[in-house]
């Protein structure tokens, strides 16, 4: 079975943890153990998020007062290279010796007219208190959103992915049996310019939507979105919250989930699983095999 696995940025750098290289490597090592277990029986393709890491690098770059801020697409490439390096190395250590792996920085074309460019909504980076948020807004010109009372984060545009530029290269690697790490951070967003070339833009593509497009283009059998939450819940955050074990795409999409949290995952799962024979799963990283086998998380498939 060909399985596309999307690792959430918060699964690799958990909320409240120090954003150090040591902490990230330790989390990637745990993730790689779960991925290696899955790879024993399936052909896996790995995508990953990078929201916390993009915010960290942007903050570090902004601290250099005599250097103009790097554009977000370049910062995204830095974060994707950093995470890809860690994932490839730790996954190679967890897999049998001689396993072939490759990490590919991936460009994803977006529509320059996408309304998201006029409506920044994608949170990235660290959480700020009210005073810190006001300082960051004033100093860097960043739009901010209050995710929870007193908890602010920077927001950036999140256009829809249209086309994976390197999809043929990815397909060649996967067909050749190479464990491929790609579409990191949702891919690097680019637009087509007048002369037919590509140009990076200030945006972050939702990694679940990008990974869903990857799963579609690779004709994958399964698509797993692994995060720090054990399943999709009804009435999340209330005393009546309860997990959804299995659901058909039409049933799940009709329930409605917040755009800032579970919404993109549910949307991507429902789109991919809308064809018979395909399955999509959402749940905890450590439950990867159990989710694929229908023993944990939320499984989306046509019954």
Catalytic residue among 265, 281, 283, 297: 265
Active site residue 65: no
Nearest to 58 by CA among 49, 48, 71, 40: 71
Structure tokens at 197: 């070339």
**Could you please report the per-residue DSSP string of 238-301?**
STT-EEE-EE-HHHHHTT---TTTTHHHHHHHHHHTTSTT-EEEEEEGGGHHHHHTTSSSEEE-
Q: Write phi, then psi, for 2 (nearest 5 degrees).
A: -90, 125
Separation of alpha carbons 65 and 25, rounded Å: 30
Q: Write phi, then psi, for 300 (nearest 5 degrees).
A: -115, 120
Q: Is 170 helix (H, G, I), strand (E, B) or coil?
A: helix
Please tell me the number of Cα atoms within 13 Å of 192 on its side-chain side: 10
Name the DSSP letter for residue 37: H
Separation of alpha carbons 155 and 177, rounded Å: 38
Active site residue 122: yes
Catalytic residue among 49, 51, 84, 122: 122
Active site residue 93: no
Contact (Cβ atoms closer than 8 angstroms) between residue 90 and residue 19: no
Which residues lie below 8 Å from residue 138, measured CB to CB, with a gap of 6+? none
Structure tokens at 222: 């399964």
- Quickly count: other Cβ atoms within 10 Å of residue 65's Cβ: 5
Catalytic residue among 8, 207, 281, 283: 207
**Could you please report the per-residue DSSP string of 94-138?**
HSPTT--EEE---EEE--TT-GGGGS--EEEEEEE-HHHHHHHHH
Longest distance between any two alpha carbons in the chain, whole Å: 59
Q: Environment class of residue 21 by beta-carbon count within 10 Å: exposed (0-12), middle (13-18) or buried (19+)?
A: exposed
Active site residues: 9-10, 122, 207, 265
């Amino acid at each position: 079975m060909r399985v596309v696995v999307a690792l959430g940025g918060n699964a690799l750098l958990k909320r409240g943890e120090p954003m150090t290289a040591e902490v990230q490597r330790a989390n990637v090592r745990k993730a790689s153990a779960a991925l290696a277990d899955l790879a024993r029986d399936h052909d896996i393709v790995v995508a990953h998020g990078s929201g916390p890491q993009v915010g960290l690098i942007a903050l570090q770059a902004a601290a250099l007062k005599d250097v103009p801020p790097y554009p977000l697409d370049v910062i995204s490439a830095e974060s994707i290279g950093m995470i890809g390096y860690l994932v490839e190395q730790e996954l190679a250590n967890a897999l049998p010796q001689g396993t072939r792996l490759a990490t590919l920085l991936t460009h994803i074309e977006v529509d320059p007219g996408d309304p998201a460019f006029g409506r920044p909504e994608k949170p990235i980076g660290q959480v700020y208190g009210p005073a810190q948020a006001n300082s960051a807004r004033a100093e860097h010109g960043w739009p901010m959103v209050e995710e929870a009372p007193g908890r602010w984060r920077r927001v950036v545009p999140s256009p829809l992915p249209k086309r994976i530029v390197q999809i043929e290269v990815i397909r060649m690697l996967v067909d050749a049996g190479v464990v491929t790490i790609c579409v990191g951070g949702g891919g690097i967003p680019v637009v087509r310019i007048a002369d037919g070339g590509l140009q990076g833009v200030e945006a972050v593509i939702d990694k679940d939507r990008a990974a869903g497009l990857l799963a579609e283009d690779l004709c994958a059998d399964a698509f797993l979105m692994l995060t720090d939450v054990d399943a999709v819940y009804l009435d999340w955050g209330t005393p009546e919250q309860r997990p959804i074990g299995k659901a058909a795409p039409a049933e799940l999409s009709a329930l409605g989930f917040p755009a800032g949290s579970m919404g993109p995952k549910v949307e991507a799962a429902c789109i991919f699983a809308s064809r018979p024979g395909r399955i999509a799963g959402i749940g905890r990283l450590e439950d990867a095999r159990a989710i694929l086998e229908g023993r944990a998380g939320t499984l989306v498939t046509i019954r």
